[in-house]
Amino acid sequence: MTTLSPENSLSARQSASFILVKRKPPIDKTEWDSFFDENGHLAKSRDFICVNILERGLHPFVRTEAWKFLTGYFSWQSSQDERLTVDSMRRKNYKALCQMYEKIQPLLENLHRNFIETRNNIARDIQKLYDKDPLGNVLIDKKRLEKILLLSYVCNTQAEYQQGFHEMMMLFQLMVEHDHETFWLFQFFLQKTEHSCVINIGVAKNLDMLSTLITFLDPVFAEHLKGKGAGAVQSLFPWFCFCFQRAFKSFDDVWRLWEVLLTGKPCRNFQVLVAYSMLQMVREQVLQESMGGDDILLACNNLIDLDADELISAACVVYAELIQKDAGESPRSLKQPWPRGLMSFNFST
């Protein structure tokens, strides 16, 4: 069974109630500042803040600072003076990485064919981005964004560049002011989310968990998908590669979901429950029309302009259902074989 404790069951009940009550206003600057004492040390528990972020979200004026704690850019135990020192260090480290890149760039061009190919892919992807708002105001600096993506590719040995990173990095650039903040927040985001959106690391794991979760919670739907071949669930990989950003109606909705993923609340691997909730939106259509992999992907791609709060609420209810079902049934009581894959998936906090 999933690794769950009584505390996690309580979180599940709290998560279920999240959809039943009107959400309180997001955490604003005044309230955020009240979480710290006069020296900038945390006066509230990290758990208290993360639960409030899950249930309420962050005001845009707070998001930049809060994300530095959520990603690990700043330590939750740090003082204001220590954070100033850390930020200065990260700025210097970023500058040193840029200087290193400039020195080794000719070597990379001559000896590494993949570097030139990746650089061209990044340049093409960047040009596809809409860099202006509806009023014609410039939103992003494409040259700066391209430089940060290239540096990230060269420095990050775990997460090679993949399509979609340019859109994700753009959202980080929109959130913060300086390039070193954009660079480091993106690196920490990947680490904090266990490289969940990286094709060769987390995406396959997420799809396996999703498949097992469907079998556990919705056997009828699982049987239909199984009859359509292994590709039915595997075709949903774009959700994880793009970290769901193309499903929402605004950047604020994307940030809202991402910051919940960063809290680790209500559970680890919450992105799998989000994907399950989205799949349930097309469940009846898939069954009625007996859809296979390509048609399922098309139906799922039509899930756009979603509201992040509603999706988070739905996923929290799925978590509560998972807790209840997992606690109420034993392997012997199940008529079908126990899905042993679920036993190794950690949905605990």
Query: Does residue 78 or residue 321 have the better pLDDT?
Result: 78
> Does the structure show a pLDDT above 80 at 78?
yes
Please give the full DSSP string across 12-71, using - where no structure is assigned: HHHHHHHTTSPPPPPB-HHHHHHTB-TTS-B-S-HHHHHHHHHHH-B-HHHHHHHHHHHH
CA gap 324, 314 in Å, rounded? 15
Per-residue model confidence (pLDDT) at position 112 = 83
Per-residue model confidence (pLDDT) at position 235 = 85
Per-residue model confidence (pLDDT) at position 200 = 85
* Structure confidence at residue 150 as a pLDDT band (50, 70, 90): very high
- As a dihedral over the C-alpha atoms of residue 145, residue 147, residue 148, residue 152, rounded to 10 degrees, the angle is 140
Please give the full DSSP string across 79-135, using - where no structure is assigned: -HHHHHHHHHHHHHHHHHHHHHHHHHHHHHHHH-HHHHHHHHHHHHHHHHS--B-TT
pLDDT, mean of residues 67-91: 98
Q: Under DSSP, is residue 289 helix (H, G, I), strand (E, B) or coil?
A: coil
> Does the structure show a pLDDT above 70 at 340?
no
> Does the structure show a pLDDT above 50 at 336?
no
How do residues 308-317 score in pLDDT, each as one tens digit?
999 999 999 9
Beta bridge partners of 42: 36
Per-residue model confidence (pLDDT) at position 329 = 56
What percent of the chain is modeled with pLDDT above 90?
70
Phi, psi dihedral angles at 36 (to 5 degrees): -125, 150
Q: State in Å, rounded, how far the first CA of the chain is from the last one.
A: 15
What percent of the chain is modeled with pLDDT above 70?
86
Tokens of 166: 């340019």
Q: Under DSSP, is residue 73 helix (H, G, I), strand (E, B) or coil?
A: coil
pLDDT, mean of residues 93-119: 93
CA gap 139, 170 in Å, rounded? 9
> Does the structure show a pLDDT above 70 at 114?
yes
Return the minimum-mean-pLDDT range out of 178-192, 216-230, 243-257: 216-230
How many CA atoms, within 13 angstroms, populate the side-chain half-sphere of residue 131? 14
Per-residue model confidence (pLDDT) at position 343 = 46
The answer for residues whose C-beta is within 8 angstroms of residue 285's C-beta and 6 or more apart is 291, 299
Please give the full DSSP string across 257-282, using - where no structure is assigned: HHHHHHHT-S-TTHHHHHHHHHHHHT
> Does the structure show a pLDDT above 80 at 14?
no
* Structure confidence at residue 347 as a pLDDT band (50, 70, 90): low
Greatest mean pLDDT among 35-49, 101-115, 215-229: 35-49
pLDDT, mean of residues 215-237: 87
Cis amide leading into 219 (omega within 30):
no
Q: Are 122 and 64 in contact (CB under 8 A)?
A: no
> Does the structure show a pLDDT above 60 at 182?
yes
Per-residue model confidence (pLDDT) at position 230 = 66
Cβ count within 10 A of residue 166: 23
How do residues 272-297 score in pLDDT, each as one tens digit?
999 999 999 999 999 999 888 788 88
Mean pLDDT of the chain: 87
Per-residue model confidence (pLDDT) at position 13 = 52
Helix (H) or strand (E) holding 311: helix 308-328
* Structure confidence at residue 174 as a pLDDT band (50, 70, 90): very high
| Among 319, 310, 309, 234, CA closest to 273 | 319
Calculate the CA 324 to chain-centre distance.
Answer: 25
pLDDT, mean of residues 210-239: 89
The answer for residues whose C-beta is within 8 angstroms of residue 79's C-beta and 6 or more apart is 39, 40, 41
For CA atoms 232, 235, 240, 245, the dihedral sign is: negative
| Among 278, 311, 316, 310, CA closest to 297 | 278
Per-residue model confidence (pLDDT) at position 328 = 63
The answer for residues whose C-beta is within 8 angstroms of residue 281's C-beta and 6 or more apart is 303
> Does the structure show a pLDDT above 60 at 72?
yes
Q: What predicted TM-score, i.e. pTM, was given to this entire model?
A: 0.88
For CA atoms 146, 147, 149, 153, the dihedral sign is: positive
* Structure confidence at residue 15 as a pLDDT band (50, 70, 90): low
Per-residue model confidence (pLDDT) at position 332 = 38
Cβ count within 10 A of residue 68: 22
Give residue 342's identity as a one-letter amino acid code: L
Query: Does residue 8 or residue 79 have the better pLDDT?
Result: 79
